[in-house]
Every structure is written in structure tokens, then in C-alpha cells.
Copies of this chain bind each other. A is one copy, B any other.
Amino acid sequence: MEHRIIIPKNKTVILSTAGVAGHEEGAGPLGGSFDITDNDEDRFGQETWEKSESEMQRLALSAALSKASLCENELSVMLAGDLLNQCVGSNYGLSGFRIPYLGLYGACSTSAEGILLGTLLCSSGLRRCAAVTSSHYCSAERQFRFPLEYGGQRPPTAQWTVTASGAFIISSDEGDIENAKETVLPTVTGVLPGYIIDKGISDVNNMGAAMAPAAADTILRYFKLSGDAPCDFDMIVTGDLGREGSGILVDLLYSEGLDISKQHVDCGCMIYNADEADKHAGGSGCGCSAVVMASHILPNITYGKLKNVLFIGTGALMSPLVLNQGGTIPGVGHLIRFRGDGGM
């Protein structure tokens, strides 16, 4: 069986994380945990929304490097991408770092793809990798939907693009691990990259439904391959299916004999208060799962509140142009297994 769960060759940890978010995210239930929150109408001191998004990535990577006391030349590569056409959030946001750059496109699965690839690159002999991603409500809205001024109405299944960026420093450096031995660092104990799954959904206002089958496919394969049970995990985190997609995922898995309802949470459902009517089915965008993992889930592993966590980052791999041509929305879900006790 070639498409197996890939176990890192060496102990690989998340050495540091940083989360940067907009003012609405800052006012949400996780607001207290972000490293930087903007109070300038989410402009981060920039003139355009695209530059604001880039600035969030710059701030996030700078903060993650600083928290790990690392210089640029101590990172082997940075892996980054975002939702903007040609991934310009990352290209411009990270252009000031003299660190080898490998661009990714995984839509909302980018944080998971970056952590997964960073882990494998550490197994290949690189010492430390960064994974960075972002999304911005204002840059995404005008690119994917309507000009902000239009004030378009949305159906209840629609998700709200999160204004945020998350950065992760992944390390298998023995010195890093030795120095941190008093701390519980999240250890990546396995990864399972996803297939492209397209079940024919074409409603751009229901991305959760398009991505849930991809998450289900990866989760089912994981439990089949590993022999684990959902109760072996404190939390099974998806990012970002929102409320609509989360329901579909739990139902799809239940129909296959797998009940994850007790362990499952979704980053898109966690980032905003549930009673915020504007946010409809919850958050989405590359920055959503990135900032929830960077500022909430992974720190909770360090604090000892969580020990075994599965994270499935999901992405909708469509473009507005292809949907206008009658295309459907393919999804992908990449899985990462974290452990908090340092064991493999």
C-alpha cells in the first residue's frame, strides 16, 4: 500500500507559531490568543487590501521567528501560499526574507499542506522549515465574489473569509528539541496527504459541502490505515468546513460506520461567535485554520490541555472562472497527527 500514513524519520516538532488577525477576529472567542490584532480597519498600515494581506504574512513569520529566537539563515526554506491570484499575498509578503521560498497552492488547506511538506522536508535532512499562509476578507471578497461596496446578500450556507495569517516553524533540529525539553512542543507523528475529490458541488456559497467529502475520504483512510479509533484523540479538527460542511462530514463518516461527533471541531466554527449573523456558516480562507491552529490548538497542546490531535486542512480547489464555465468544485483534505507528550 503506497499511499500510507507517512511517519517522520526523526522527531519533528512545531517549534513556534504566530497568529495575526483582523479586528473582527480579534473580537471573537479566540481574540485574546492572537499575537497581533489590527485596529486600523484591517489595513495593517497598507494602502491596498492585497498589501494588507502581505503585511500580515510578514508580521506572522517575523513573530514566529522571534518567538523561536531564530534568524533568517537558520530556516532552510519557507513554504507559503494564499488564495489570491498567483499567490501574491505570500510572494510579496515574504519577499523581504532571505530564506529559500517554495510557493504552495492548496486554497484553505495551505496551512496543513505547508506543515505536512515542512515535516517531510525535515525528514529529508533540512533542519527547520516555516509554513505561512493568510487570507483577507476584503481582498478575497472582491476577487471571488463582489466588490465590497456592492453589499451582496449571502445564503446561510456561505462562509466568511477570515482576515488572518498564521506562521509555523517546523523543526527536527536536535538542539532545538533539547533546548525545549522543559516545554511540551507539539510533535508531528504522522501525515496523510489527500486526494482531489470532486462530488459535483458547484455552489460557491456552499464550500463546506464541496470540501466535506475530501475531508471524509482522508479521515476514513486514516482510521483504516492506522487502526486508531476517534476516541484515541482529544480533538479531530477540520479547517474550514463551517457549520454546514461540518454536519455533512459527521454524517458522511457516520454512514461509513465512523462516529467522530464527540471529538470533531471545525476552525471555521470556532473563530467567530456563533450568534454573529453576518458570518453565516462560519469562517473560511487560508488564514482561518492557520490562525486557529497557530494561536489556539497548538498552544493548547503546549499548555497540556490537549494531547492527541488530528488536524485535517481542507481546500476548495476552484476558481470563479471555471465555475462560470459550468465547472464543479474539487476539494482536498490533508491530515496531520499531533501529539503533546513528545512520543512518536
Task: Please list the residues of chain A having a beta carbon within 8 angstroms of any beta carbon in chain B.
Answer: 1-3, 6, 9, 47-48, 50-51, 73-77, 81, 83-88, 91-92, 94-95, 97-107, 113, 116-117, 120-127, 143, 192-196, 198, 315, 317-322, 325, 327, 330, 332
Contact A330 B100 (CB under 8 A): no
How far apart are A193's CB and chain B's nearest CB, in angstroms? 4
Knowing that A3-B73, A103-B104, A123-B123 are A-B contacts, what are 16 other residue pairs whose CB atoms are under 8 Å apart, sorted by A's residue number?
A3-B76, A3-B99, A6-B124, A6-B125, A48-B325, A81-B105, A88-B318, A91-B330, A97-B196, A101-B195, A102-B104, A102-B117, A104-B104, A105-B105, A121-B121, A143-B321
Contact of A193 among B9, B101, B192, B315 (CB under 8 A): B101
How far apart are A22's CB and chain B's nearest CB, in angstroms? 20
Chain B residues near A94 (CB-CB < 8 A): 196
Contact of A101 among B76, B77, B86, B194 (CB under 8 A): B194
Known: A95-B198, A120-B121. A86 touches B88 (CB 8 A): no
Contact B87 A105 (CB under 8 A): yes
Contact B98 A195 (CB under 8 A): yes
Give 5 nearest A-B pairs by CB, closest first.
Answer: A100-B193, A91-B317, A123-B124, A86-B319, A124-B124
How far apart are A39's CB and chain B's nearest CB, in angstroms? 24
Contact A92 B322 (CB under 8 A): yes
Contact A84 B319 (CB under 8 A): yes
How far apart are A74's CB and chain B's nearest CB, in angstroms? 6
Chain B residues near A84 (CB-CB < 8 A): 319, 321
Instruction: Name A221's closest neighbour in chain B (CB-CB).
Output: B100
List 14 A-B pairs, Cβ < 8 Å. Answer: A2-B74, A2-B127, A50-B325, A51-B325, A88-B317, A92-B322, A95-B317, A99-B195, A102-B193, A103-B104, A104-B104, A120-B124, A120-B126, A143-B321
